[in-house]
């Protein structure tokens, strides 16, 4: 039968993620009409619980977009950056670069500030760029999924504001795994998606939009339609989506957010992620030649990146991946573009371990024990 050969792998990649059994079962709940009385049974609790996970930031409206994280990022560019504006896209890796690309392909006046892979945003360099470019808006990544670096959103936003610019944040791979600090950092828009820290399949982008963001968008022309945050907000205020939602995912999201808020608790979830970050950090000390890649003090709670010893290569990491598959795991051999760059510089590659969503500390420990055995075969 079709599907019989679909492998039941434990995903330790950085999205999509392993789904809890209950989330998979919730995929069997009934389809519904998105303008019918059945809709609010799903979307009222979704909107309420998503705000709780965000720390209930005052003055922010949550919006569920169809599409994935990138669609929400693109909506922020289309709706918040006017033709007369200048946007500075700050990048600490591939997803920071993606924001810049979205600004450029949408015809915006965009400049970029890039940091070395593995490093967080340096406030001194950011300040110099703010003085030089005098942007109206600044985009940056809360948690860089390509490098495992987490930025200090509060300090970065404070500096951006001090130079008269407005921040917009991509938080796709951290939301649901750590505090969002929206109230403390006050971005125009804080963007995420379902398939990473929230523990759901891909299919919805999620945004928290400030009053200030709404005011800003009103003065921006050609916002598009599905990328128009004002059209999106009008429906979100009715607990609806602008266009037909994936009903299966809505059912799953309703079940999963209730679990996060009322069973695991938001605080418990954040603690579990911190615990997993320290498990990954302690493990590497037991594996000869391997090191943490991300800058100390800026290591992500949702994924960890590792620098391999000099004898490791991109091809050998592909072998590691296949060996791990044999143990029932999906291993992440690192972000391709970064590893190619490292190879060009004569350096060994990095790899990633995703420990986001509903992976438990004991599952991570089991995985790392198997991975250590496999890695040491190459030494």
Q: How far is the CB of 80 from ligand PLP (least distance, A)?
A: 17
Query: β-strands 204-210, 60-66: how paired?
Result: antiparallel
Check binding of 304 to ligand PLP (CB under 6 A). no
3-state secondary structure of 111: strand
Asked if 178 contacts 53 with a C-beta cutoff of 8 angstroms, the reply is: no
Q: d(Cα 110, Cα 286) in Å, to the nearest integer? A: 44
Check binding of 193 to ligand PLP (CB under 6 A). yes
3-state secondary structure of 137: strand
Q: Among the candidate windows 76-84, 169-177, 281-289, 370-378, which touches ligand PLP by CB under 6 A?
A: 169-177
Check binding of 226 to ligand PLP (CB under 6 A). no
Among candidate residues 306, 280, 281, 297, the one with its CA nearest the CA of residue 359? 280
Q: Restricting to residues 201-220, name those near ligand PLP by CB under 6 A.
A: 202
Q: How far is the CB of 66 from ligand PLP (least distance, A)?
A: 12
Q: Among the candidate windows 52-60, 68-76, 319-327, 365-373, which touches ligand PLP by CB under 6 A?
A: 68-76
Q: Restricting to residues 77-116, name those near ligand PLP by CB under 6 A.
A: 95
Q: How far is the CB of 18 from ligand PLP (least distance, A)?
A: 16
Q: d(Cα 241, Cα 315) in Å, to the nearest integer? A: 44
Q: d(Cα 320, Cα 48) in Å, to the nearest integer? A: 42
Q: d(Cα 231, Cα 224) in Å, to the nearest integer? A: 10
Please provide the DSSP assignment of 77-103 as one string. HHHH--TT--EEEEESSHHHHHHHHHH
Total site size for ligand PLP, rule CB under 6 A: 14
Q: d(Cα 238, Cα 153) in Å, to the nearest integer? A: 30
Q: How far is the CB of 131 from ligand PLP (least distance, A)?
A: 27
Place of tokens 């004569």: 346
Q: Which is nearer to ligand PLP, 81 or 374 (CB)?
A: 81
Q: How far is the CB of 23 from ligand PLP (least distance, A)?
A: 17
Check binding of 246 to ligand PLP (CB under 6 A). no
Check binding of 68 to ligand PLP (CB under 6 A). yes
Show binding-site residues.
352
Query: Backbone phi, then psi, for 25, in 5-degree steps?
Result: -65, -35
Q: How far is the CB of 338 from ligand PLP (least distance, A)?
A: 14
Check binding of 70 to ligand PLP (CB under 6 A). yes
Interacting residue ranges for ligand PLP, rule: CB under 6 A: 15, 68-70, 95, 141, 145, 170, 172-173, 193, 195-196, 202
């Amino acid at each position: 039968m079709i599907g019989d050969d679909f492998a039941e792998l434990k995903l330790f990649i950085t999205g999509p993620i392993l789904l809890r059994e209950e989330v998979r079962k919730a995929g069997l709940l009934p389809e519904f009409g998105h303008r019918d009385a059945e809709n609010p049974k799903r979307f009222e609790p979704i909107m309420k619980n998503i705000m709780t996970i965000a720390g209930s930031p005052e003055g922010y409206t949550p919006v569920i977009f169809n599409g994935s994280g990138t669609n929400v990022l693109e909506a922020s560019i289309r709706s918040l950056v006017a033709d007369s504006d200048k946007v500075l896209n700050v990048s600490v890796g591939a997803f920071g670069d993606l924001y810049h690309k979205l600004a450029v392909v949408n015809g915006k006046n965009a400049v970029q500030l890039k940091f070395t892979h593995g490093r967080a945003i340096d406030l001194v360099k950011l300040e110099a760029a703010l003085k030089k470019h005098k942007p109206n808006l600044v985009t940056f990544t809360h948690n860089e999924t390509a490098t495992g670096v987490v930025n200090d959103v509060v300090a970065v936003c404070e500096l951006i504001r001090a130079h008269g610019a407005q921040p917009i944040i991509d938080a796709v791979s951290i939301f649901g795994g750590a505090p969002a600090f929206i109230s403390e950092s006050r971005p125009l828009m804080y963007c995420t998606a379902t398939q990473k820290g929230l523990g759901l399949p891909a299919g919805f982008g999620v945004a928290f939009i400030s009053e200030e963001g709404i005011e800003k968008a009103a003065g921006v022309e050609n916002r598009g339609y599905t990328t128009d945050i004002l059209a999106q907000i009008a429906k979100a205020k009715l607990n609806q989506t602008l266009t037909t939602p994936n009903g299966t995912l809505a059912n799953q999201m309703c079940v999963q957010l209730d679990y996060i808020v009322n069973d695991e608790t938001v605080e418990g979830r954040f603690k579990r992620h911190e615990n997993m970050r320290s498990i990954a950090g302690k493990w590497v000390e037991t594996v000869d030649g391997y090191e943490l890649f991300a800058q100390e003090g800026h290591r992500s709670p949702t994924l960890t990146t590792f620098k391999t010893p000099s004898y490791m290569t991109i091809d050998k990491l592909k072998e590691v991946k296949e060996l791990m598959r044999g143990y029932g795991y999906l291993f992440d051999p690192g972000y391709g573009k970064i590893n190619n760059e490292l190879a060009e510089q004569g350096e060994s590659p990095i790899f990633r371990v995703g420990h986001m969503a509903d992976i438990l500390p004991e599952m991570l420990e089991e995985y790392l024990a198997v991975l250590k055995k496999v890695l040491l075969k190459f030494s």
